Chains A and B, each alone.
Chain A
Amino acid sequence: MSTPILEVSDLKTHFFTRAGVVKAVDGVSFSVGAGEIVGLVGESGSGKSVTGFSLMGLVDPPGRIVSGSVKLDGEELIGLSWDQLRALRGARIAMVFQDPMATLNPVLTIGTQMRLAISAHDKTSRRAADARAAEVLTRVGIPEAQSRLGSYPHEFSGGMRQRVAIAIALLHGSQVLVADEPTTALDVSIQAQILTEMRDLAAETGTALVWISHDLATVSTLASRLLVMYAGRIVEQGPVASVLRDPRHPYTAGLLRSLPATAEPGQDLFQIPGTTPSLLDPPPGCPFRPRCAHASDMCAADPPLETSGERGVRCFHPLRETVNA
C-alpha cells in the first residue's frame, strides 16, 4: 500500500436519540492510500453510510462524532469548525450518493449546479467555470458536454445523472472520494460502465476511492481492499482476492455464501439466520454472536481485531478452512 492519504482511527459516531444512544459507528479504523480503491461492505444498518458521512463531517443531529481521528493527508479533520470543513468538502474530500435523482436539484440546470460547486472554492469567471464543468463532464463520459450544461437533471438518463453527480464531486480534483452506493440505483450494464470508468479515473487522477456498498459482488470487481462492517465495526479486512477466497469471520463467510453466484441453480439462496442487531445500547461482546454458528461463551467478551499481514479479523473463532471457492 502506498502512503495513506486518509487515515481513520477508532472513529466513533453515536446518535443520541430519546430512546438511548445508537452506536452507529463504534471504533472504526482503516486507511486508504492515494489512488487506492477500498470497498466498505455491510448490510443495511451496519454503519457504513454513517462512516462515510463522518469522514465528510456531515453527520446530522442527533448524531455526533464522539471520538477518534480522521486524517486527510496528515491533517486532522475531527474538531475542525464547520467553515474549515466546508473549505475542504468538495475541494479535497468529496462524496457521491446513491440516488442522483435525489441529490441533483431538479429545478436548476446542471450548468448552474456545477458553477455553484466551482464557485464554492474558486472565484472564476462564468466562462472559465463553464469550460471547467464541460471538461469534467467529458471526463466522466458525457458526450457534447458543453451543450448539455443548460439541461436539467430530468433530461438525463439515470446513468448520465449519476455521471453528472460524480463530475460535480470531481470538479476540484479531490484527494478522496467517498462513494455511497453510487451504482445501486442503476441498471446492471450501466453499473459496470460506471465502475470501470471510476476505476480508470482513480488510477488516472490519483484520487483515493472509498466505495461503500452492500453488494459484495460489485465491490469485489472494483476494489483492491475490502473492509467488512457489521454493527458499527469492521469485523474483517484484507485484500479483496484473499478475503473472498478465504474469509475468516463467520459473517463474511455467510455474506459470501448468500451471493447468488455461489448457489446451485434452482436452490434457495443461503441466508444468514436472524437480522442485524439494534445498535441501541448493544450488549457487550461480539454483536454477531446471536447469529453465529461458531459462537461460544468466550464471545460474551469483545473480540479484538487480530491482524496478520494485510489481513485482520475481529473474532475469537476465525474460520481456518476455505469455505468457498
Chain B
Amino acid sequence: MSGFIIQRLLQAIVVMAVMSVIVFAGIYSIGNPLEILIPPEATQDVRERTIARFGLDRPVVEQYFYYIRNLLQGDLGRSYIYNEPVLQLISGRLPATIELVLVSVLGALFIGVPLGMLAGYRPDALSSRIIMAVSILGFSVPTFWVGLILILTFAVELGWLPSGGRGDTAELLGTAWSFLTLNGWSHLALPAINLALFKLAIMIRLARAGTREVMLGDTVKFARAAGLSEWTIMSRHVLKLISIPIVTVFGLELGSTLAFAVVTETIFSWPGVGKLIIDSIKNLDRPVMMAYLMLTAGLFVTINLIVDLVYALLDPRLRKGGAA
C-alpha cells in the first residue's frame, strides 16, 4: 500500500511540473499585461522601470524559472490589479466556493444515490419513471437558465429566499462560513440547488445503471436464497458493489465543480474564486491566472489520488494489484 502511495505521489509531481510549463506558456501567449498595467501617457522611463520591476524584460524561460523558484518557496506572486499577494486573494475567496461546492456535490451524492438505487430496484414503477424524468431534466436544462428560473421563482415571485450573496457567516478555523448560520443556509440554498442539479442527475443515472446490473446477478440471488431482507441486500451488498464508479465520478465532479462553479457564482453573486478568475482573465492579471490554474491542477491531482486510495478501500482485489 505504501509503495502504491509513493508511486502515485511521484506521478502527481510529474503532472504538476508538466502543468506548470503548459500553463505558463499558455498565459504568456494570450496577451501582454503591459498594455493594461501602464497608462498610455506614461513616460519611457516609467515604462522601463515597471517592466523591470515585474521582471518582464527577461527571456520567457528565465521568467518561468523565477516563477517556479518563488512557487517552491510558497510565493505565488502579487496580483497586478489588486496589488495583494495572490495567495491571500485566492484564500480569501476559496472558502465561499468550497462551501458552495461541497454542499451541492454532497447533496447530490446523498440524494442521488438512494434515488438511483430505488429506480434501479424497481425500474418499471411509477416512482422510478418520475425519478428518471427528473434526471433527464437535470441533464438537459442549462445551468444558467435554471439559476435564473430559481431566482425568479423563489426570490422574486415567492420571496422565500434571497437571490444572492452569502448572508450571515460564522467563524470556524479562522474562516467565515455561511453554513453555520440559518441565514447563511437561506443564501446557500438556491445556488447549491442550481449547482447540484446536474450532479444529481449523474448520480441517479450511475446508481440506477449499477443497481440494475447487480440486481440481475447471482450475488443478489444468492443473498436472497440465504434469506437476507431486501433492505440488507440493498444497503450491504448492492451499495458496496456499485460504489466504485460513483466514487470516481464524485471525485471528478468535485474537482470540476470547484474549478468551474463560475456560472452559478456569477448568477447568484456568490463571492467565490469563479468571479475572481473571470476578472483576472479580463485584466490579464497573470499571477492570479497562473496561481488559479496551478491550484486547480493540484486539486485534480489530489482528488484523483484520494479516489484511487478509496478504490483500494472499496475493492480488496485492487489492493495487491495496485501496489505492483
The distance from the CB of B265 to the nearest CB of chain A, in whole angstroms, is 38
Does B227 sit within 8 A of A, measured CB to CB? Answer: yes
**CB-nearest residue of chain A relative to B313?**
A107
Does A137 sit within 8 A of B, measured CB to CB? Answer: no
Q: How many Å lie between the Cα of A154 and that of B226 in the bound state?
A: 20
Chain B, interface size category, equals 20 to 34
The distance from the CB of B212 to the nearest CB of chain A, in whole angstroms, is 13
Comparing B25-33, B40-48, B314-322, the segment that makes contact with chain A is B314-322
Quick one: which of A56, A94, A120 contacts B228, CB cutoff 8 A? Answer: A120
Does A199 sit within 8 A of B, measured CB to CB? Answer: no
A107-130 contacts to B (CB < 8 Å): 107-109, 112, 116-117, 120-121
Quick one: which of B221, B223, B316, B317 contacts A116, CB cutoff 8 A? Answer: B223
Comparing A11-19, A82-90, A279-287, A303-311, the segment that makes contact with chain B is A82-90
Does A50 sit within 8 A of B, measured CB to CB? Answer: no
Comparing B145-153, B177-185, B236-244, B286-294, the segment that makes contact with chain A is B236-244
Residues of A within 8 A of B316 (CB): 106-107, 109, 152, 154
B200-229 contacts to A (CB < 8 Å): 216-219, 221-229
B236 x A108 contact (CB < 8 A):
yes
Quick one: which of A94, A102, A116 contacts B236, CB cutoff 8 A? Answer: A116
- How many residue pairs at the A-B interface have CB separations less than 8 Å? 86
Q: How many Å lie between the Cα of A103 and that of B228 in the bound state?
A: 14
Q: How many Å lie between the Cα of A88 and that of B314 in the bound state?
A: 32
Given A56-B225, A90-B226, A120-B226: A104 touches B232 (CB 8 Å cut-off): no
Residues of A within 8 A of B317 (CB): 106, 152, 154
Quick one: which of B217, B221, B227, B315 contacts A120, CB cutoff 8 A? Answer: B227
Q: How many Å lie between the Cα of A95 and that of B241 in the bound state?
A: 22
A152-188 contacts to B (CB < 8 Å): 152, 154, 165, 168-169, 171-172
B221 x A117 contact (CB < 8 A):
no
The distance from the CB of A114 to the nearest CB of chain B, in whole angstroms, is 9
B136-168 contacts to A (CB < 8 Å): none
Contact surface of A with B, Cβ cutoff 8 Å: 56, 58, 60, 86-91, 94-97, 99, 102-109, 112, 116-117, 120-121, 152, 154, 165, 168-169, 171-172
Listed by A's residue number, 23 A-B pairs whose Cβ atoms lie within 8 Å are: A58-B225, A60-B216, A86-B224, A89-B227, A90-B225, A90-B227, A97-B225, A102-B217, A102-B218, A104-B219, A105-B223, A106-B241, A106-B317, A107-B315, A116-B237, A117-B223, A117-B226, A117-B227, A152-B316, A154-B317, A169-B225, A171-B226, A172-B227
A-B contact sample (10 more), CB < 8 A, given A86-B228, A89-B225, A120-B229: A56-B224, A88-B227, A90-B226, A90-B227, A104-B219, A105-B219, A105-B237, A117-B226, A117-B228, A171-B226
